Amino acid sequence: MSPPPPPLLLPLLLLFLISATTTEAASASPIATLPPSPSPTSSPTAPSTKTPSPASSPTPPTTKTPFPSINSTLNPKQLRALQSLDIPTAQDPCIQPSPHNATICDSSSPFRQLVSLRLSNCSSELSLSYTALKSLSTLQSLSFTNCPVTPIRFPLDLAISLHSFTCIHSLKHLTGIGLSRFVNLTDLTVSNVPVNTSGLYAVLGNMHKLRSVTISNANVTGYIPKHLLFNLTHVDFSGNRLKGKIPSSITLLENLESLNLYSNALTGAIPDNLGDLISLKNVSLGSNSLSGAIPDSISAIPDLAYVDLSSNKLNGTVPKFFAEMKKLRYLNLENNEFHGVLPFNLTFMKRLAVFKVGGNSNLCYNHTILSSKLKLGIAPCDKHGLPLSPPPAKDSSSGGDSESDSSDYNDEGGDSNSKKEGHHGPNKVVLGVAIALSSIVFLIVFLILLSKRCG
Ligand SMILES: *[C@@H]1O[C@H](CO)[C@@H](O)[C@H](O)[C@H]1NC(C)=O
Ligand SMILES: *[C@@H]1O[C@H](CO)[C@@H](O)[C@H](O)[C@H]1NC(C)=O
Ligand SMILES: *[C@@H]1O[C@H](CO)[C@@H](O)[C@H](O)[C@H]1NC(C)=O
Ligand SMILES: *[C@@H]1O[C@H](CO)[C@@H](O)[C@H](O)[C@H]1NC(C)=O
Ligand SMILES: *[C@@H]1O[C@H](CO)[C@@H](O)[C@H](O)[C@H]1NC(C)=O
Ligand SMILES: *[C@@H]1O[C@H](CO)[C@@H](O)[C@H](O)[C@H]1NC(C)=O
Ligand SMILES: *[C@@H]1O[C@H](CO)[C@@H](O)[C@H](O)[C@H]1NC(C)=O
Ligand SMILES: *[C@@H]1O[C@H](CO)[C@@H](O)[C@H](O)[C@H]1NC(C)=O
Ligand SMILES: *[C@@H]1O[C@H](CO)[C@@H](O)[C@H](O)[C@H]1NC(C)=O
Ligand SMILES: *[C@@H]1O[C@H](CO)[C@@H](O)[C@H](O)[C@H]1NC(C)=O
Ligand SMILES: *[C@@H]1O[C@H](CO)[C@@H](O)[C@H](O)[C@H]1NC(C)=O
């Protein structure tokens, strides 16, 4: 792992600069980033955000190209399209950063082209025109947030140009067929807008480059597709009406970092081999109707940080392996059908930001290990490991607020020492008083006896 020899450093640095700029605004059109020859207008290192100085010493031939004067302004057609979308254009929209990063342009010539457009908080009078969208077919990223405009059919050129499409509480409604035309997407986010589709596969089936997908609170019905054989890293289908089982083929998504299926109507067991998802950090399967036990394979996921299995019908015992998961910060198992003795101690619970197990009527905690002050929302165990009594009613509400939950532990942590003092405190006082009293009595008796003897 010794540093590369100096002659290697400059090309590496250059490569880094290029990749840094291309991942940002300047990724531009293929013509600009993949020049057949070093033409003055197409150097990808051109954007003035990077200082040219590091590459100015004797260097490989590529840097001999003079920096082009990017002096062109936005393509006039696109300028008109922006005006029709209420984007202020008094200032050149290609000057960075534009307000709210609404517009990002490439560096092509003679006119720069838009590569990214973000519309937010649109006026309700705004309307999309096909002509305007057609002229924006250079866009790679298009985002609508709080834009209640009437949706129209997107021109095909634009649909296949997009790498990223975001629609949050916008466009009133979408169709699966419309979305499925965005075949080059790597990122798809649709949230809080109903999507009329026969199922997720109809939307995603042709998006072979997808890396991150959110289709949440979109009223989508049907099943989770068996074939999500992409390089997905983020999957969020929360807040829909998906039914059926979680297909075990989901464990083929070996780069998956977050899986959110919260609040659907999923049934059946959690796939036994869920632990094959070794990149997983967040998993939320809460608020479904999943049954069976928590699979042991989960213990093999090294970086798991966030686990929400709440409000299902999961049973079996609570696995002890959670206590061994070093990265775990959030564990919500409440409102299930777990039984047995809770296998955790205070050390573990204090390490978590949120820990919830309430609403499992057959689960209990060992009161020699955990204090009732923790308000876990479950009963203490008897000596056979069965719940002693139903949990006090007030406890069941403690699951509601995560903040107060975690502070409960902190209070408890502080208390656990002082609590012992508290127990011993009164005893010591009583003992002290008793000793003092008895010694006074003894003294008086002694004095009386003494005085009688002497007297
Ligand atoms: C760049 O534009 C400015 C005004 O915006 C102009 O004065 C200058 O001559 C232009 N430079 C080139 C090289 O076109
Ligand atoms: C605009 O983009 C820059 C660089 O990509 C980023 O640092 C900044 O936070 C963004 N601003 C807004 C308001 O999104
Ligand atoms: C949109 O409106 C919300 C709240 O009304 C505000 O917080 C947000 O900053 C606005 N975003 C833009 C880009 O104007
Ligand atoms: C998008 O996908 C189509 C195939 O449907 C392909 O021909 C085209 O080159 C892709 N475009 C971009 C910009 O990646
Ligand atoms: C969801 O779909 C159902 C029936 O398919 C419909 O009645 C309901 O209005 C939809 N909800 C939303 C928010 O679109
Ligand atoms: C959903 O799509 C189907 C078939 O395309 C159509 O018959 C139905 O009216 C649509 N529903 C809504 C609410 O748009
Ligand atoms: C998945 O990603 C890896 C590297 O991240 C890449 O080598 C592979 O080609 C990708 N596969 C597909 C189907 O995109
Ligand atoms: C996991 O969840 C936490 C808390 O909700 C969030 O901050 C984090 O960004 C998520 N990480 C991933 C990879 O989704
Ligand atoms: C757990 O639930 C499954 C499926 O509902 C059931 O078959 C099994 O008997 C249950 N196990 C226990 C220990 O209750
Ligand atoms: C708490 O449990 C963990 C894991 O089971 C264990 O390593 C640790 O020693 C326990 N701590 C105490 C104070 O019992
Ligand atoms: C509770 O913990 C104590 C001390 O570790 C142990 O002796 C006892 O068997 C446990 N009780 C139950 C019901 O697990």
Select from 48, 67, 69, 71 the residue to mutate for testing ligand 1; criterion: most ligand atoms less than 8 Å from CB: 71
Q: How far is the CA of 17 from the centre of ligand 2 (A)?
A: 19
Atom of ligand 11 nearest to the CA of 381: 13
User: Does ligand 11 come within 6 angstroms of the Cβ of 366?
Assistant: yes
Atom of ligand 3 nearest to the CA of 121: 1
The protein residue with its alpha carbon nearest to ligand 10, atom 14, reads 345
| Whole-number pLDDT of residue 435 | 65
| Whole-number pLDDT of residue 107 | 83
User: Does ligand 11 come within 6 angstroms of the Cβ of 317?
Assistant: no
The protein residue with its alpha carbon nearest to ligand 8, atom 1, reads 282
| Whole-number pLDDT of residue 304 | 97
User: Does ligand 10 come within 6 angstroms of the Cβ of 350?
Assistant: no
pLDDT per residue over 208-246, tens digit each? 999 999 999 999 999 999 988 668 999 999 999 999 999
Q: How far is the CA of 175 from the centre of ligand 6 (A)?
A: 8
The protein residue with its alpha carbon nearest to ligand 9, atom 9, reads 292
Q: How far is the CA of 363 from the centre of ligand 4 (A)?
A: 55
User: Does ligand 2 come within 6 angstroms of the Cβ of 100?
Assistant: yes
User: Does ligand 1 come within 6 angstroms of the Cβ of 71?
Assistant: yes
The protein residue with its alpha carbon nearest to ligand 1, atom 8, reads 71
User: Does ligand 11 come within 6 angstroms of the Cβ of 383?
Assistant: yes
The protein residue with its alpha carbon nearest to ligand 5, atom 10, reads 219
Select from 31, 33, 160 the residue to mutate for testing ligand 4; criterion: most ligand atoms less than 8 Å from CB: 160
Q: How far is the CA of 252 from the centre of ligand 4 (A)?
A: 26
Atom of ligand 2 nearest to the CA of 97: 1
Residues of the chain with confidence (pLDDT) below 50: 1-70, 394-426
- Annotate the chain with three-state secondary structure: CCCCCHHHHHHHHHHHHHHHHHHCHHHCCHHHHCCCCCCCCCCCCCCCCCCCHHHCCCCCHHHHCCCCCCCCCECHHHHHHHHHCCCCCCCCCCCCCCHHHCEEECCCCCCECEEEEEEECCCCCCCCCHHHHHHCCCCCEEEEECCCCCCCCCCHHHHHHCCEEEEECCCCCEEHHHHHCCCCCCEEEEECCCEECCCHHHHHCCCCCCCEEEEECCCCEEECCCCCCCCCCEEECCCCEEEECCCHHHHHCCCCCEEECCCCEECCECCCCHHHCCCCCEEECCCCCCEECCCHHHHHCCCCCEEECCCCEECCECCHHHHHCCCCCEEECCCCCCEEECCCCHHHHHHCCEEECCCCCEEEECCCCCCHHHCCCCEEECCCCCECCCCCHHHHHHHCCHHHHHHHHHHHHHHHHHHHHHHHHHHHHHHHHHHHHHHHHHHHHHHHHHHHHHC
User: Does ligand 2 come within 6 angstroms of the Cβ of 49?
Assistant: no
Atom of ligand 4 nearest to the CA of 161: 13
User: Does ligand 5 come within 6 angstroms of the Cβ of 194?
Assistant: yes
pLDDT per residue over 20-65, tens digit each? 444 433 333 333 333 333 333 333 333 333 333 333 333 344 433 3
